Chains A and B, each alone.
Chain A
Amino acid sequence: MASHFVPCHWLPLLALVLAQPAAAARSVSGSVTAPQGAAIAGAVVFLQEPAPPPTDSQHAAAVVDQVEKTFVPGILPIMVGTYVRFPNHDQIQHHVYSFSPTKTFELPLYKGEAAPAVLFDKVGVVKIGCNIHDWMSGIILVLPTPHFTVTDASGKYVLDNVPEGNYTLAVWHAQSNVKPEDTARQVPTREEVANVNFTLTLSPARPRPPVHGSRADP
């Protein structure tokens, strides 16, 4: 399995795609919108079925950067077993932590690359923050699959390298109250490029203290 390194200025995000049998690969694309048609950015679309292949010892790695006192990206989907590094590109120190049961960790005050990578070995949502900057907030979505992507500003997504077979596709958003499995859609098997659109109802964005960065910012 080859890893695909994600640059820190990724836009649109192309999720890490594992090497697949070349002959069978195809793409699924579509959009995620609100019921009234407004585009929803920052939604994670991922293959729910089948179960992911077992992870081997060579873990993939991902990065959540800290720039201008903001986590970049604000939402990071990863496959379970991925190491995530938290480099700090600000001139000041940050203190990254998570109290999420999926992964509780703490990287006490540091700058640059000083912090060790963190292994996310459980599937789930990890909310990260900075102890000294209340507004800094990010999400790491730990998925059981390597097939995922994030909608762009216009709510569109393209999921490449989808293997042959019957799959369901699900969507997750930080403000959605619907469980991803309840959003599952069957991916048509015939088309070369399948098109699957999602409609999500989001709860209103939560008012927060001065926020200098949105976790939904793709």
Chain B
Amino acid sequence: MGRSLRTAIFVAFSILILAVLLATLGLTQWVVGREAVRGLSRDLRTTGQVFASQLQERAVRLQTNSTLLASDFALKRVFATHFDPERYDAETLASAGLSYRQRLGVQLVWMTDEAGTLLAASPAGKPLGQSLAAFAPLREAIESQAAATGIVEVDGKLYQMVAVPVLGPDVIGFLLLGQIIDDSVAARLQQETHSDVAFLTASHVFASSWATSGQHERVRAATSGLAALSGRSGALDPVPLQTGTERFLSLAVPVDAHLSEPLYALIQGSYDAALAPLHALQWRIAAIGSLGLAGALLTGMLLARSITRPVRALVQAMHEVLRGNLQHRAPVERKDELGFLANSFNEMVGGLQERERIKDTFGRFVSRDVAAAVLNGRVPMAGERLEVSILFQDIRGFSALAEKLDPAALLQVLNQFFTEVVTAVEAEGGVVKQFTGDGVMALFGAPQARVDHVECAARAGLGIVERVARLNVLLQSGGTPPLQIGIGVHTGEVVAGLIGPDARVEYGVVGEPVNLASRIEALTKDLKATILVSAEIAARLGPRFVLGRTAMLPVKGRTDPIEVVELLAHPTGA
């Protein structure tokens, strides 16, 4: 019982703490996770904007540079050579282009005539004389006779290209400069914004910040990610994608370019990295929570023990009391309800012990039934009228016996004798009310009323005679002379109740039948009978009892003689 109570407290504590812990963790996960994703999405969009403005800036810078370069008179002179077949020198033009490439830090320089036919290229590669009007920036520049920019693909590489007219003073040609968008551009963007970037179409990855860090798997996965993203209408909402074991939030920003397929900047931020602070926080919460849990469990355990230990002690005490050990007391160590409980228990056991002691004390002198009746409150304090049978017994020749035996032996004989008498009386439901030194007074039908008290008294008398006869055999074998007894039995209405001053109150019966029973017992000596019963008794015993002589005898204190009958034996066969 103590174990289960302790377990219950323990479990309740654990569940409570666990619930709080899990709720905290869940709430943290929800709030911080949402914020992390929001922050990451914001970062991705910022990267998209930074990228767009970088592209814009690069285009402006490129255009400014090329416009400046195109205004250079030396360049114009170089360009103008194409008007004259004798002076046209593609190699010189290309070497001039190399010089411009180095001067401006661009990766591509093309020179065309006013119609867009390639005059010179650096690096070499494109066949001269070919029309480059298919390149959108050049086409636009030819149409507008002004500078134009755009993103184009040249030999599988992505270039930001500007085409500016060379004026002399009319357009005498176009200067095309290309700045490559490669892995290093993506890597730089990644360094600035901390978001990974790839430039790709559905079928080709042109550049990525992953290539520089060797994450080729992500490069491969990027196109499939793009397919998932570009199919969506709201492309500006980042979408979680998984690459290998890492999760990413991805944003596909369409890039205006002149390619056969749409170009995108795929911007990715690591979902897991964004959630790393959350995980750290969760670890901390979990650690603190675990400590709290451990502390709470320890507290709960101590508390449970402090509750269950006195309870167990109390339970043990109850077991002791149940086994009859009324000496046992529960330890009282606390001043709370449990202490009160132990105290009350001890008081209760004390009361029980006291009663038992009283019962024992009573029992030594009176019947256990009387004691029980008194203690149980079945005896009305005011007294009651009851019809009872009264049996008086006496040892004849006790004085002579007392002289023959030494006191110890005498008491031993008396104790043996009374044990037999009391046993015989109680066997018939009677109560030994009084010890008279060498005899007893027994009641039948009080304090427990019963209808067959007459027969009980008669049988008790016969029982006493039988038992004493057996005792006498025993005594005679020990050299002690046999005990002679006389028994008188009478019935009548008496007043029964508690008699005496408070301190010495005892259960008793008073009335004429008591005195008469005593007188009848006294007559046994005269008639040399063992048991004499009054005529009222004899009349109610019926034929089954064996009766002997009948005599009318004068009784002390009464004018009329009374009729007594000798009771000889039990009903035959009974």
Contacts and interface: CB of A to CB of B under 8 A. Distances in A.
A128 B169 contact: yes
Contacts of A129: 167-170
Given A104-B80, A104-B84, A129-B167, A99 B145 contact: no
B172 interface: yes
Contacts of A131: 73, 76
A95 B169 CA distance: 12
Contacts of B80: 99, 104
A127 interface: yes
A211 to B, nearest CB: 10
Given A99-B77, A207-B144, A207-B146, A136 B83 contact: no
Interface in B143-191: 144-146, 167-172
A100 B71 contact: no
B135 to A, nearest CB: 20
A130 interface: yes
B169 A100 contact: no
B17 to A, nearest CB: 78
A207 to B, nearest CB: 6
A84 B145 CA distance: 29
B144 A99 contact: no
A206 B168 contact: no
Interface in A110-145: 127-131, 134, 136-138
Interface residues of B, number: 17
A50 interface: no
B145 A206 contact: yes
A127 B170 contact: yes
A99 B83 CA distance: 8
B75 to A, nearest CB: 11
Contact of A127 (B145, B146, B169): B169
Given A101-B83, A131-B73, A207 B169 contact: no
Nearest to B79: A99
Nearest to A135: B169
B462 to A, nearest CB: 154
A43 B146 CA distance: 25
A9 interface: no
B232 to A, nearest CB: 40
Determine which residue in B71, B77, B84, B169 has the highest number of CB atoms from chain A within 10 A of its CB, and name it. B169
B111 to A, nearest CB: 14
A127 B168 contact: yes
Contact of B145 (A128, A137, A208): A208
A100 B172 CA distance: 9
Interface in A51-82: none
B145 A207 contact: yes
Interface size class of chain A, counting residues whose CB lies under 8 Å from the partner chain: 10 to 19
A167 to B, nearest CB: 31
Interface in B262-300: none
Interface in B76-94: 76-77, 79-80, 83-84
A134 B71 contact: yes
Contact of A101 (B73, B76, B77, B84): B84
B71 A99 contact: no
A99 B146 contact: no
Contacts of A127: 168-170
Nearest to B146: A207
Nearest to A206: B145
Nearest to B172: A99
Nearest to A205: B145
A97 B168 CA distance: 8
Contacts of A104: 80, 83-84
Contacts of A95: 73
A129 B165 CA distance: 15
A134 B167 contact: yes
A104 B77 CA distance: 10
Contacts of A130: 169
Contacts of A208: 145, 167
Given A99-B76, A99-B83, A104-B84, A136 B169 contact: yes
Interface in B91-145: 144-145
Interface in B59-79: 71, 73, 76-77, 79
Contacts of A134: 71, 167, 169
Contacts of A138: 169
Given A206-B145, A207-B146, A208-B145, A100 B167 contact: no
A209 B147 CA distance: 11
A137 B144 contact: no
Nearest to A71: B169
Contacts of B76: 99, 131
Nearest to B71: A134
Contacts of B167: 129, 134, 208-209
A129 B168 CA distance: 6
A127 B84 CA distance: 15
B63 to A, nearest CB: 13
Nearest to A208: B145
Contacts of A99: 76-77, 79-80, 83, 168, 172
Contact of B170 (A97, A101, A137, A209): A137
Contacts of B144: 207
A67 B228 CA distance: 65
Nearest to A100: B83
Nearest to A133: B169
Interface string B240-268: 00000000000000000000000000000
A131 B171 CA distance: 14
A158 to B, nearest CB: 29
Interface in B526-568: none
A130 B168 CA distance: 8
Contacts of A209: 167
Contacts of B171: 206
A78 B146 CA distance: 31
Nearest to B81: A99
A168 B77 CA distance: 38
Interface in A203-218: 206-209
B502 to A, nearest CB: 136
Interface string A89-111: 00000010101110010000000
5 contacts: A95-B73, A100-B83, A127-B169, A134-B167, A137-B169
Given A206-B145, A207-B145, 4 more contacts: A99-B168, A127-B170, A128-B169, A207-B146
Interface of A: 95, 97, 99-101, 104, 127-131, 134, 136-138, 206-209
- Please list the 3 inter-chain residue pairs (A to B) with the smallest Cβ-Cβ separation, ordered nearest first: A129-B169, A99-B80, A137-B169
Interface of B: 71, 73, 76-77, 79-80, 83-84, 144-146, 167-172
